[in-house]
Amino acid sequence: MKQSIGIDGPAGAGKSTVAKRIAKILNIPYLDTGAMYRGVAVAAKRHGVGFTDEEAVAALVEAIDLQVQYTETGEQHILVDGEDVTGELRTEEISQGASLVSRVPAVRDRMTELQRKVAHAQRVVMDGRDICTNVLPDTPYKFFVTASAEERANRRYKQLLEGGQQADYDTILADIIRRDKQDSERAYKPLYCGEDTKRIDTTHMTIEEAVNAILSEV
């Protein structure tokens, strides 16, 4: 396996933004693994499968054809059964659905298989919930990017307002706390910072500072 860069962390910590910038600086592909779980959630919604119906979700993930493709400009797209569903991935319903379906062992195993396949083919920057602890355990480049729940909620709140959307800070904070609990307390391959993983707290950091903290280690 190539020496890819793994970045884990909770929702809203800035890990995807950091990972994308690092990939651009190093001129290697960025793999958004969270988008893959969102793709499973989109498929579940389309097939009328409840996000918490573990047996049905497990059967679904084995039946669908989920692929990651890149445009000429390096933009990642998620295809489900040949259809590009990238535009459907970022709704709040699908965000929650992705967190729920990711609890299902069959889903995590299938996504791990696909993610490792990408990393075997080329060096990538990959972020998610269990990249360092499960997907790429042998890479020397492991990072856990986090921030306080309050700071993450504030960032999301500002992002929504800047995008012209209505937002309620308390609701966003409650959603983040709930997702943290779901991700860190699931029985199968939960989110946590491994002993051999460098922890980077971005609560009081700029994106550039977080990027430089990782690049200094790579």
Structural domains in the chain, sorted by start: 5-204 (3.40.50.300)
pLDDT at res. 91: 87
pLDDT at res. 182: 86
pLDDT at res. 1: 53
Q: Which ranges of the chain have pLDDT less than 50? A: none
pLDDT at res. 189: 84
pLDDT at res. 93: 92
pLDDT at res. 174: 95
Find, among 140, 138, 170, 143, the residue nearest to 154 by Cα. 170
Could you report the per-residue pLDDT of 24-42, keeping only the tens digit for each? 999 999 999 989 999 999 9
pLDDT at res. 190: 87
Note the helical H segments in the chain.
15-26, 33-46, 54-63, 92-101, 105-121, 149-162, 169-185, 207-215
pLDDT at res. 82: 95
Q: Using CA atoms of 186, 128, 104, 194 in order, give the dihedral in degrees to the nearest 10.
A: -40
